Amino acid sequence: MHWLVLFIAGLFEVGWAVGLKYTEGFSRPWPTLGTVVAMIISMGLLGLAMKSLPVGTAYGVWVGIGIAGTALLGTVLFNEPVSLLRLISLLLIVVGVLGLKLASAA
């Protein structure tokens, strides 16, 4: 169950990271509110997951989900460039996250 909570926390991290772009420097109230709510939910769920998971593993997986998800959504939503090196780098992050998951005893 703690892995599911951590995964959902990572998805909310993607939400607030992408949401930051839509706030336009926190000048737009509704995107700002949504971003702040996503931040609170993401951090709260991360804290819950850390009750059962090692801090390094939980934080690494949370950040990895955030990095990979945000980079992928950046290419879809904001037409950010896609290159072979970028894709390989994202793949390495995903492999690292899976490695942390598999190496965890929890």
Planar angle of CA 45, 30, 48, nearest 5 degrees: 5
Measure the CA–CA gap between 81 and 24, rounded to whole angstroms: 21
Measure the CA–CA gap between 41 and 78, rounded to whole angstroms: 24
- Residue 10's nearest CA partner among 57, 76, 77 is 57
Task: Determine whether 56 is exposed, middle or buried from the number of CB atoms within 10 Å of its CB (0-12, 13-18, 19+).
Answer: exposed
Model confidence over 10-64: pLDDT tens digits?
999 999 999 999 999 999 999 999 999 999 999 999 999 999 999 999 999 999 9
β strands within the chain, DSSP E? none
Model confidence over 69-87: pLDDT tens digits?
999 999 999 999 999 999 9
Extents of the domains making up the chain: 2-103
What's this model's pTM, rounded to 2 decimal places? 0.90
